[in-house]
Amino acid sequence: MKSIDPSVIRKLEKLRKELHRHDYLYYVLAEPEISDEQYDKLMRELLEIEAKYPELITTDSPSQRVGGEPMKEFPTVIHSFPMLSLSNTYSEEDIRDFDERIKSLLPGSERVNYTCDLKFDGVSLSLQYKNGILILAATRGDGTQGDVVTQNVRTIRSILLRLNVVDNSLSDCEVRGEVIMDRADFQRMNEIKELAGEKLFANPRNSVAGTLKLQDSKIVATRPLKFYAYSLISPKQNLKSHYENLQTLKRLGFLVDSNAKRFDKIDGVIEHWKEWESKRDTLPYDIDGIVVKVDLLKQQDILGTIAKSPRWAIACKFTSRKAETKLNDIRLQVGRTGTITPVADLEPVFIGGTTVSRASLYNEDYIREKDIRIGDMVIVERGGDVIPKVTSVIIEKRLKGIKPFTFPTKCPECGSKLIRFEDEANYFCENTECPKQVRGRIEHWAARGAMDIEGLGEAVVDRLVTNNFIRNVADLYDLKKYSETLAELDRWGNRSVKKLLDGIETSKQQPFHRVLYALGIRHVGSTVARILVENYSSIDDLLTSPQEDLQTIHEIGPKIAESITVFFHDSHNRKIIERLKKSGLKLNSEKRKATGILSEKSFVITGTLLTMTRDRAKELIEENGGKVASTVSKNIDILVVGEDAGSKLDKAGKLGIELWDEEKLLLVLKIRKG
């Protein structure tokens, strides 16, 4: 490496520090001290030095905000903690029920404080910092894993490339928040696109989501994105309160919700919710409600989660925005599980920043109850990111001769007879070979988050099904015998076929939980699939598990348990699974170390440990052959109990599970170490 004058390095650091400070003043505090011209002059000086000495360029340099080389793909990353979705409510009664539920689940007569944040209508993002430097940014994805978009995120000026660290223990942390776009910025951006004759964005939220997934970060750098932080995760720091974490995030240099408030009674929460519903349009950006969270993190830990949602938080949504339009037609959609869903085909209408041309009609009972008829003038509502729905008919505008809607008796895709079971609201097409169902199941199987088969998109699936190459997911693994025939199809060739077959072969390496999710069992999303794999080591265990055993798993309720049982009792599904086994897919979890002192033992950890984090305890158990699950069930051997243990301890007692304290765990591990 060539020698560099120390004065150059000092000047470089001074420029970087100054530019970071001016970014913070302008994009976070909205209190600029210098003109754009002066800022650009400082940036040019920095770029000139880095061009001359490229070895001095660092990832946290302000120069990295201008964007880099285009990316070919976005790798995925598993979140350190799941990015959970929230349960929604629109009523005061539900908010009071939430309060009562929280109090009933907490031990004794503990007082509860709630912190209320505005619910930004944007895109969730996770930022990881190491030694105070941004090292990774990822989208929420399916909540368990997301796409790595670090290069794009570095261009967002309100995101810190280097933390204003107020405490060394916070130099390694994760910050979560929402990327948004102000309405005025969105409007200006659309005006520019309109002048250029380009397609306009639908709304700010969609434009943010699309921008984050652009492959060219130089284009991302031109988009007016903002980031508001709402969560801080720091394993080295004893964080206590969500409200205090918001103040810490502000000191670190992030934009946070300045309207966040803490309340000691649910009445204050409800008043805050109603106040913001009436004045949401005074903000420069879109919100669709407030988020209510139990303030103390210790109480959050006790309350835990249900499947994808935390018990300790709820999204209090605002009333939907409404508009009047004409119902042109009612079309039937066939889902991958055979569910028939009626959809309203509407005269396009603008509602809350989005043009709506289709809306949900739910089922036959809903259409009858509202007396919805083709040709009616109807009221359409849209709330936040909820699918638009037809909520009522304007009877006085109904034209003479318009007849009530009669639900068809045959599947619109295959002509099979539709069936409606006694306790079900929906009609079903029971023909498992129905082309629409077949396509839907295969598309779900191939999707990212499931088997992630490259080259097997919607158009390719349609072509393979139409030409009778495949009728189910198991057929995919026999496609190689048709490779020559496939290559002769129009616009296909040997390269396209090889890419597809390679993607199918690679999918055999996907872990058991991905295969389970990809099977498309009703009510079994990616999170539930992981929970099942934590409790059942193979598909055979699941096939033979009684419904009542499934319900002993904390996150598995009666509806999910019944759906799983019905799926695995179906002879067609069993044949598919047997074929997948023969094709070499992973239908069991990875074997643990057989030689460890904790081998063959399943653990759950609850409460606060004194000498280590729960993640570290999990590592030690797994290093010594044990398995760690997140929920207590009859399949668990040992519960490791720390301070302030909650409902898991009670459940373990009822199931007769062996209890260890931290001292016992350490003692066993020390014996193992000799």
- Collapsing DSSP to helix, strand or coil, 393 comes out as strand
**What residue has token string 């006085």?**
396
**Cα–Cα distances in angstroms (integers) from residue 31 to residues 25, 28, 419, 578, in the given order:** 5, 8, 64, 65
Backbone angles phi, psi at 550, to 5 degrees: -60, -40
Total number of residues shown for the chain: 674
Q: Tell me how far apart the alpha carbons of residues 298 and 304 are, in angstroms, rounded to a whole number.
A: 10
Q: Are 288 and 505 in contact (CB under 8 A)?
A: no
- Rg over CA atoms, the chain: 28
Among candidate residues 50, 79, 74, 80, the one with its CA nearest the CA of residue 62? 50
CB neighbours of 438 closer than 8 A, spacing ≥ 6?
432, 465, 470, 471, 472
Tokens standing for residue 492? 């296909």
**Cα–Cα distances in angstroms (integers) from residue 37 to residues 33, 42, 67, 218, 222, in the given order:** 12, 9, 20, 21, 17
Which residues are known catalytic residues? 119
582: buried, middle or exposed (CB in 10 Å: 19+, 13-18, 0-12)?
A: exposed
375: left (phi over 0), alpha (psi -120 to 50) or beta: left
Q: Are 580 and 473 in contact (CB under 8 A)?
A: yes
**Cα–Cα distances in angstroms (integers) from residue 617 to residues 604, 627, 634, 642, in the given order:** 10, 11, 21, 11
Q: Tell me how far apart the alpha carbons of residues 549 and 351 are, in angstroms, rounded to a whole number.
A: 47
- Collapsing DSSP to helix, strand or coil, 360 comes out as strand
**Cα–Cα distances in angstroms (integers) from residue 628 to residues 219, 526, 637, in the given order:** 44, 18, 10
Sign of torsion over alpha carbons 226, 232, 237, 239: positive
Taking each helix axis as running N to C, give the angle between helix 558-569 and helix 571-582, from 0 to 180 degrees, rounded to the nearest 10: 70
Q: What angle do CA 403, 404, 406 make, to 5 degrees?
A: 115
